[in-house]
Amino acid sequence: MRRVPAVLIVEDEPAIAELISVNLRHSGFRPVWAMDSVTAQVELDAMLPDVILLDWMLPGESGLMLAKRWRTNPRTKEVPIIMLTARGDEPDRVAGLDAGADDYITKPFSTKEMLARIRALLRRRAPEQEATVVTMGQLSLDAATYRVTFDDQPVKLGPTEFKLLHYLMTHAERVHSRSQLLDQVWGDHVFIEERTVDVHVKRLREALGERAAAMIETVRGAGYRITTQGTGVPAMSSAS
C-alpha cells in the first residue's frame, strides 16, 4: 500500500486552512491543521510530517520563530518548510529563508503552484536512485558519507559546494546553465541571483586544487560542465 505524504498546515485563518486541506486531499496528501504555534508543536511531537506549510503571522509565536526553532531541533531540522504569508517583499522573503524555510509562497496564491512546489520539495528530498560513490578518474565522491577525495587525498567542501559537485558528477559531460544549477542545487528561489553560481563554482575549484579544478569547465555563454575530455583524466565510473 502506497504511503500518503502528510502535510502540516500551520495557519490561523480557518477558510485558508480548509482551502489548502481540500486541495491537498484531492492531490493525494494527508493534511493536518494547526491554528497556532502551540498546536503546531503538539502535532509535530505526535508525528513527523513530510512537509510543513507555515504561516508567518500566527497568534503567539510567529512562523519565523517556529522555523528557526525547528531548524535547530535534530528531529525536525530536515523537514521541508514552505513559508506561506502575505509578506512578499524581498527583505521578508530573505528573512524567511534565513530562518530555515525551503520555499516561500506569497498570499494570495495559486493552489496549483502550491501543490507543484510541495511536489518539487518532496522530489528533492527523496533518496536518489543513483550510485552512492561516483568516480571520475582520481576524483571520487561518496554521497553516503559526504566524503570527497582526489588522488586519495581528502577534499574539504562546504555543503553547497558538495551538492554542486555531486550534481555535476552525476550529470557529467553535460553543459548546465546557471539557472539550471540554481534550480537543482539551491531550489526554485528565482530571486537568488545567477551570479551566486559563479561564486560557488569558484569556491569549489579552489577547494579541489588546480589539477581537479581543471575538470570543471566554463562554457562561455552557456554555463558549466564537468568533463574528463582534454584533461588526461579517465572516464567516469560509479559503484553502489
Same domain, 112 and 139: no
Mean pLDDT within 52-69:
89
- Reference 168, options 210, 213, 199; nearest CA is 213
CATH of the domain at 186: 1.10.10.10
> pLDDT value at position 2?
52
Q: How far apart are CA 37 and CA 32, in angstroms?
A: 14
Same domain, 90 and 157: no
Same domain, 54 and 162: no
pLDDT at 18 over 90: yes
Same domain, 168 and 60: no
CB 105 within 8 A of CB 184: no
The predicted model scores a pTM of: 0.53
Is position 1 within any domain? Answer: no
Q: How far apart are CA 201 and CA 126, in angstroms?
A: 25
Same domain, 113 and 42: yes
pLDDT at 84 over 70: yes
| Listed residues 96, 125, 154: the one ending a domain | 125
Same domain, 81 and 112: yes
**DSSP label of 5:** P
Q: How far apart are CA 62 and CA 114, in angstroms?
A: 21
pLDDT at 106 over 80: yes
Locate 152 and state its grid cell. Answer: 586519495
Q: DSSP string covering 68-131, please?
A: HHHHHSTTTTTS-EEEEES--SHHHHHHHHHTT-SEEEESS--HHHHHHHHHHHHHHHSPP-S-
pLDDT at 25 over 60: yes
Task: Give how many domains the chain has, as a whole number.
Answer: 2
Of the chain, the percentage scoring pLDDT greater than 90 comes to: 42
| Listed residues 104, 125, 146: the one ending a domain | 125
**CB under 8 Å, gap of 24 or more: what pairs does 177-184 form?**
177/222, 177/223, 178/223, 178/224, 180/223, 181/223, 181/224
CATH of the domain at 56: 3.40.50.2300
| pLDDT tens per residue, range 160-176 | 899 999 999 998 889 99
What length is written for the chain?
240
> pLDDT value at position 191?
59
| Listed residues 74, 102, 125: the one ending a domain | 125
Q: Which residues constitute the domain of residue 76?
A: 6-125
**DSSP label of 57:** S
| pLDDT tens per residue, range 178-195 | 988 888 887 755 456 778
Is position 102 within any domain? Answer: yes
Output 132 or 121, whichever has higher pLDDT. 121
- In whole numbers, what is the pLDDT of the chain averaged over residues? 84
Helix (H, G, I), strand (E, B) or coil at 9: strand
CB 30 within 8 A of CB 7: yes
Q: How far apart are CA 114 and CA 79, in angstroms?
A: 17
| pLDDT tens per residue, range 114-131 | 899 898 888 876 654 445
